[in-house]
Amino acid sequence: MKTVRFVHCADLHIDSPFKRISAIDNTMGELLYQSTYQSFSNIIDLALAEQVDCVLISGDVYDSSNRSLRAQLRFRNGLARLSDKGIPTYVVHGNHDPLNSWSSKLDWPSNVFIFPGDAVACVPLVKDGEIVAEICGISFSKRDVFDNLALRFPKERKTIPRIGLLHTNVGTNARHESYAPCTVSDLCACAIDYWALGHIHAYSILNRSNPAIVYSGCSQGTHPGEIDEKGCCLVTLSPLGDPDIQFVPTDTVRYQCDSVEISSCVTIDDIISAIEAKCEQVSENMKNRHTVIRLSLVGINELHSELRRGSAVADIVENVRDYFKGRTPTIWLEGLTLNTAGPYDLELLRHGNDFVSDIISMYDELDDPQSAHWKDVQERLNVLFTDWQGKKYLDKLSQSDVLALAKEARNWTLDALVRTS
Amino acid sequence: MRILEVHIDGFGIFAGRHIRGFTTGINLFYGGNEFGKTTLLSFIRRILFGFPRSSASTNPYPALFGGAYGGRLICQLKNGENVTISRTLGRRAALVTISTATGQLSGQDELDKLLGHLNGTFYENVYAISLEELQEIGSLQGDEVRSQIYGAGLGLGSISLPDIRSEFTTRSESLYKPTGRKQTMLTLLQGIRDLEKQASTIEEGLVNYDGLVSGREELENKVRKLEGQLSDLRVLQKSLENKKTLFPVYLDYEEAAAKLSKLGKAPDFPEDALQNLELKKTAIADLERLIDENSAELNGLESEKKRMVYNDRILASEEHVVALQRLSEKYRAAVDDIEGVKVKRTALESQTTKNISQIGEMWNISRITNFNPNHVQKDKILLYASSFDQARVRLDDARNKLDYHKEQKAAASPKQLPTRAFPKYAVYLIILLSLCATVLGFLTSYWWLALPCVFTMFVGLFVVLKIRQSSRTELTDPLQNELAERLERERLEYQRLDSEWREFLRGIGFDEDLSPKGANEVISAIQKIQLDIATLDELDSRIARMQNTIDNVKALHEQVAPYVERSYITTDISANIPVFATHLDSAKTAKLRSQDLGERIRKLHDRIANLRNDKEKLEGEILTYISSRGASDEADFRQKFAVFVERRQLLQNANACRKNIQMVVGTGEHFDSFLASISSTQPDMIPPQLEEIQRHLTELSNERDQTNISIGEAKKEIERLSSSNDLQVKQSEVELKKQELRDCSRDWVKSQIGQLMLDKAISKYEETRQPDVIKAAENFFLHVAGTNYSAIIKPIDSDEFEIRDSTGRSKSILEMSRGTREQLYLAMRLGLIEEYEKRSEPMPVVMDDILANFDDDRVRLAIQALKSFSETRQIIVLTCHKNNLDLYQQAGATLLSLE
């Protein structure tokens, strides 16, 4: 049994639009447009530099089923670079780019293998004229695959290591759609030594060995919710010992959410300085990557009311964006939320005997989903989230989401009540 | 604050009016209609809060009876400080000033501070009311009023809950409203849908990519096929065009070939054969012409030479003629000058002789010519002259000294007669004169003169000797003796010198008596004579030369004259000489011309002979040239050459045609096949065939061009699809709007919850708590309205009031009587004032007949309540009702009037 060294990546989402961003300028927009392709290019560079035996791509090469032509051409060009150096590529398609989605009739490089969607296929990996491993995989034939595809993988062991490529939601991760769901047990039951999984965008090792079950995560974050470093796995399967799995960041733009404590700020300028300092700090930690930052202001401050007034927050954001304009690497303050409070004692107010204490008590009662207030809120919100024609574009709000928003509404109310009293 | 005095400068019907005596409690003004109650009310309002902008609905209260518009209020603040508030109408706006004990301020802002930022509208609606405001429900519906009603009771100060609610509502409805059409979220939704459509269009375009690629390939194949057809057609078109173009050439070629075959073979001639022949013939003709010309010239020259004669003899005497010419001028001068020179010589000769005789008898021409004093002699003469001068000086000196001594001596001794010297000198003079006369007598041979003079001279000498003897005897003085001796020595020396000089003169042949100066003069005269003698010699020589010239010319003339015709000869030799020369030149010219003619005649003979030789040579060459081409004579030669030229021309034509054809169709087999093809072609058929081909070509070209355009468009579209990130950009735009929509939905949720929860809290508050304003108003209302009612209800979110009767039934405003409604409104205002003044500067309350619609009991009760209300306040009541006046006065009101 020979050592097998390969790159495992997934969820490239080449040419993905940036998502969940409320505002962007041209510079950062262009960087975001290029980011998914650039991270894929970084993966190719890594594979060439490490002279790996193969590259595995576990689904969602493209972002949408109607994949853009430029994305396909860019993907093909990347694979051609590998092919030119004799490195084969094995690809399965996932829910974002199932086999039944449109694809241009491009001529793929000779040693690119795209797994079918009807059944698990196994192909040998040949190194120096010798079969050193077997690569098994299955693509999504359509987007909505809810079958447990893991069950279709071979169960019989071989003398050579076997690698499985699968786009799946293991353990039915609630934060991701449950495509091709399976469990760790299902995976362990197969005669696979390394599961190269895709679909979950965060890098994670579900099982270190026997078999190794690994999500490489996406190669580049595509929205502010994906704040961790993104990249691929450089894996070495050796006859002795557990697989050596190294995570290699390949992202070029990184998202970051953070908060800025402004209790000690006396003026708006102080707040702006604090925000700029935070952005600088975040950027420094990104190791020369472009950064999209979403910040929330926290703390109790006299300026709270002023911040809430009119376009104060928007003005601050513009000010900070202007400050970082032209900076390399680029820093983009994507959003600034106001989670501050005025200089009043909530507990004291809560225990008063006036209108303010009444309203605080009512908000407190919202925590009980059985309360009349909660039901009234639900009923009020249904006007938008149930009845409105554009509801499909809205986030479905959980109870905690609603309670968080209610808390903000309470603070707004208290700001108004306590501000002028 | 309470008013102490009112001063009206000019306002409505008031001018220069003053009201003093205001107190705490009720201050009453009583007067009939047109009294000016409402004017006073407005004055107080406007002094405190400003003159309103003029409008149709506002009474400006112009100063009808003069005075500066405005006036002032003298007030006392809660803290006891007095202030004067003055307001006048400035140029552009009203000017308000506040005078305090510490200074003066100006501007409404300063006054507002003083008034505790009391809102003007609030004051107008609550504090300073007339019956009109009292009856108007809207006057109690202002924001400020609502705020005052609820804010204090809620524990929120001046907070306006409706405002907060309105903020939530506004915010919420600006984002989304079920019945709305222009809300932000709806706009965003529409934007998202539009963008999605655009993205969808782009996606559909992407699907066309493969079709575009395959379509492009098909089109490219079609173009290749069309290019092939076009190429074949162009070859055919070219072939036909070649035939059309070359057909005349082909015909010429065929014609030349046929003629050549007919002509057969002919000897070759050089290109210039005929030209050479003609040239030789021309050369012979030229030679003949030259021979003729030269022969004619020869004959002419020979005739001329025969006619040519000249004077040989004068030519033989050329030397003499030349000599005569040379001597001609000299001869003429000699003839002219010779006599004059001779006369001049004779005169000089006689003068010279005379000059010689003046020097001395012994002197003649020969002696003078030979006299040649040298330098030594001249120097000696000069030396002697000097020596004589010196000796004379010394002698004179010695004599003078002696004479001086004698004079001194005589002066020292007794005077002696001076006559002793005188006779001596007289004697000397006589001796001298005698000597001169003697000499003159001897020279002139006047003996009668010479002899007496000799005698006289001897007598004189005798006397001198006597005198001298007597002198010697007197030499007894040694100095005198010495001086005498010296004198004697000098005299002897002088005599010696004189003897020596005389000896010298004799030596050189001069008269002994000559002084050195005279000797020099004689030498000079001799030298001048010597020059004259030389001149005489020169004149002699010159005369001789002139004579010689004359003699020579005459001799030469004699020799030449015979060779010239006598008619030309004259007696004047000088005139004949040019005639001789002319004759000589003519003879020489004629001789030279004769010689030249002879030379030219000889050369012409030689040249004519040469020309004849050349001619014969050329004639021989022509014969040889003609025979060399097989011709028997020149005519035959010419005929053969003509055949040669025609053949050569035909060959050239044929070759040119071939070349032209080959340039178009090529050489070798292409040329041969073309000839074969064109020989079977009907030229008339070519144009229609070409037209047909051209038409076909145009059709195919157009089709190809159109196809190429389609290919270009397909390529462009393919390139665009390949490189475009339009889809990504569009999808990103969708995502941006989606995010914005999500953010809006969150804001909407917050607004909705805020609004809902606020409503809930207000509802709860209304049910469980009532504000102090309502409570205060309720006290007043119940006091006035009696026991029929139990409470006033003011819904928190409504401007409407309700009253609850003793049975607990609520009665709305509309259900109340007019009087009861006004009592309720008055009660609400008093409640508001109480609540407001808990934390603010109290203000004077002004009421303009507000009890007009109250019944008598309720008027009384109301005045009682007002009395109670005014215990700590100032109320200014304006009324025109006598009954009310009495009741107010019974309640302790202070009656005031305008001064």
B184 touches chain A (CB under 8 A): no
Q: Which of A14, A28, A344, A355 to mutate to test the interface with B (most CBs of B within 10 A)?
A: A355
Cβ contact A413–B757 (<8 Å): yes
Residues in chain B: 899
Taking an 8 Å cut-off on Cβ atoms, the answer to whether A373 and B757 are in contact is: yes
- The token pair at A399 is 């109870």
Do residues B37 and B78 make contact, with C-beta atoms less than 8 angstroms apart?
A: no
Asked whether the beta carbons of residue A24 and residue B764 sit closer than 8 angstroms, the reply is no
Nearest chain A alpha carbon to B746? A405
List CB contacts (< 8 A) between A395 and chain B.
Answer: 742, 745
Nearest-angstrom CA–CA distance, A10 and A217: 6
Q: What is the Cα–Cα distance from B826 to B847, expressed in whole angstroms? A: 10
Q: Using a CB–CB cutoff of 8 Å, tell me whether B89 touches chain A.
A: no
State the nearest Cα–Cα gap between A85 and chain B, in angstroms: 25
Mutation for B interface: A72, A357, A384, most B CBs within 10 A: A384
Measure the CA dihedral B732/B738/B742/B748, to 10°. Answer: 130
Instruction: Determine the distance in angstroms separating the CA of A123 from the nearest CA of chain B, rounded to an integer.
Output: 29
* Nearest-CB residue to A393 (from B192, B723, B762): B192
B760: distance to nearest CA of chain A, Å? 8
**B372-382 as b/e, with b when 16 or more CB fall inside 10 Å?**
ebeeeeeebbe
Q: Which residues of B touch A102 (CB under 8 A)?
A: 203, 206-207
Nearest to B723 among A20, A63, A70 (CB): A70
Side-chain half-sphere exposure of B833, counting CA atoms within 13 A: 26
How close does chain A come to B221, measured CA to CA in Å?
A: 19
Chain A residues whose beta carbon lies within 8 Å of the beta carbon of residue B731: 17, 63-64
B692 in A contact zone (CB under 8 Å) = no
- Tokens standing for A74? 């860019």
**Interface with chain B: mutation pick from A18, A102, A413, A415, highest number of B CBs within 10 Å:** A413
Which of the four pLDDT bands, split at 50, 70 and 90, describes residue B414?
Answer: low
* Cβ separation B178–A66 shorter than 8 A: no
Q: What is the pLDDT of residue B768?
A: 67
Percent pLDDT > 90 in chain B is: 23
Q: Which two tokens stand for residue A106?
A: 């491009």
Please tell me if residue B663 touches chain A, with a CB cutoff of 8 Å: no
B759 vs A: CB within 8 A? no
Pick from B176, B733, B758: CB nearest A413: B758
Interface test with A, best of B143, B198, B212, B739 (most A CBs within 10 A): B739
Within an 8 Å CB–CB cutoff, is residue B732 touching chain A? Answer: yes
Supply φ then ψ for residue B97, to 5 degrees: -130, 150
Q: From the centroid of its chain, how far is CA B96?
A: 69
Contact flag B752-A381 (C-beta cutoff 8 Å): yes
Name the 3-class secondary structure at A258.
strand
Contact A389 B748 (CB under 8 A): no
Chain segment B707-761, per-residue pLDDT in tens: 999 999 999 988 888 888 888 888 889 999 999 999 999 999 999 999 999 988 8
Q: How far apart are CA B388 and CA B375, in angstroms?
A: 20
- Over the stretch B581-636, which tens digit does the pLDDT of each residue have? 998 898 888 888 888 988 999 999 999 999 999 999 998 988 888 888 888 888 88
Contacts of B217 in chain A (CB under 8 A): none
Average pLDDT, chain B: 85
- The predicted-structure confidence for B230-279, as pLDDT tens digits, reads as follows 999 998 898 888 888 889 898 898 888 888 888 777 778 888 888 888 89
Say if residue B148's pLDDT is above 70: no
Interface check for B819 against chain A (CB to CB < 8 A): the answer is no
Q: In chain B, which residues have their Cβ closer than 8 Å to the Cβ of A421?
A: 151, 155-157, 159
The two structure tokens encoding residue B747: 């804001």
Please state the CATH superfamily assignment of the domain spanning residues A4-249 in this structure.
Answer: Metallo-dependent phosphatases (3.60.21.10)
- Beta-sheet strands, E only, within B113-204: 128-130
Least CA distance to B744: which residue of chain A?
A394
Q: What is the pLDDT of residues B198-236, one digit of tens each?
A: 988 888 887 788 888 889 999 999 999 999 999 999 988
d(CA B890, CA B887): 5
User: Which pLDDT belongs to residue A421?
Assistant: 40
Instruction: Identify all chain B residues contacting A17, using CB atoms and an 8 Å cutoff.
Output: 728-735
Cβ <8 Å between B729 and A384: no
B753 part of contact set with chain A, CB < 8 Å: yes
Contact A416 B206 (CB under 8 A): no
User: How many residue contacts between A and B have a Cβ separation below 8 Å?
Assistant: 179
Q: How far is B807 from chain A, CA to nearest CA, in Å?
A: 29
Take residue B563 and report the two structure tokens written for it. Answer: 């060779």
* Cβ–Cβ below 8 Å for B749 and A20: no
Q: Which of B160, B161, B174, B750 to mutate to test the interface with A (most CBs of A within 10 A)?
A: B750
pLDDT tens for chain A, 421 residues: list them: 789 999 999 999 998 888 888 888 999 999 999 999 999 999 999 999 999 999 999 999 998 776 788 889 999 999 999 999 999 999 999 999 999 887 777 889 999 999 999 999 999 999 989 999 999 999 999 999 999 999 999 999 989 999 999 999 998 777 778 899 999 999 999 999 999 999 999 999 999 999 999 999 999 999 999 998 999 999 999 988 899 999 999 999 999 999 999 999 999 999 999 999 999 999 999 989 999 999 999 998 888 888 988 889 999 999 999 999 999 999 999 999 998 888 888 888 888 767 788 899 999 999 998 999 999 999 999 999 999 999 999 999 999 999 999 998 998 888 888 754 4
Q: Inter-chain contact A16–B728, Cβ cutoff 8 Å?
A: yes
Determine the average pLDDT of the residues in B42-54: 86
In this structure, what token pair is assigned to residue A240?
Answer: 């002795």
More confident residue, B54 or B343: B343
Q: Which among A33, A104, A355 has CB closest to B725?
A: A33
pLDDT mean over B178-186: 87
**Phi, psi (rounded to 5 degrees) for B551:** -70, -45
Residue of B nearest to A405 (CA): B750
* Cβ atoms of A169 and A200 closer than 8 Å: yes
Report which of A226, A235, A242 is spatially closest to residue A165, judged by C-alpha positions: A235
Count of C-beta atoms within a 10 Å radius of residue B756: 21
From A75's Cα to the closest Cα of chain B, the distance in A is 12
pLDDT tens digit string along B832-872?
Answer: 888 778 767 789 999 988 888 888 888 889 998 999 899 88
Residue range(s) of every CATH 3.60.21.10 domain in chain A: 4-249
ipTM here:
0.88
Chain A positions in Cβ-Cβ contact with residue B730 (cut-off 8 Å): 17
| A373·B764 Cβ contact <8 A | no
Facing A412 at nearest CB: one of B731, B742, B754? B754
Q: What is the pLDDT of residue A262?
A: 95
Reported pTM: 0.53
Which chain A residues are within 8 Å of B758, Cβ to Cβ?
Answer: 359, 413
B764 vs A: CB within 8 A: yes
Residues 6+ apart with CB under 8 A from B885: B28, B30, B879, B895
Average pLDDT (B561-578) is: 87
- Rounded to 5 degrees, what angle do the CA atoms B257, B259, B265 make? 95
| Number of C-beta neighbours around residue B489 at 10 A | 13
CB nearest B741 (choices: A23, A32, A394): A394
Q: In Å, how far is B98's CA from the nearest CA of chain A?
A: 29
Please choose, from the candidates B173, B148, B174, B171, the residue with its C-alpha nearest in 3D space to the C-alpha of residue B161.
Answer: B148
B761 touches chain A (CB under 8 A): yes
Q: Do B724 and A70 touch (CB under 8 A)?
A: yes
Shortest alpha-carbon distance between residue B740 and chain A (Å): 6
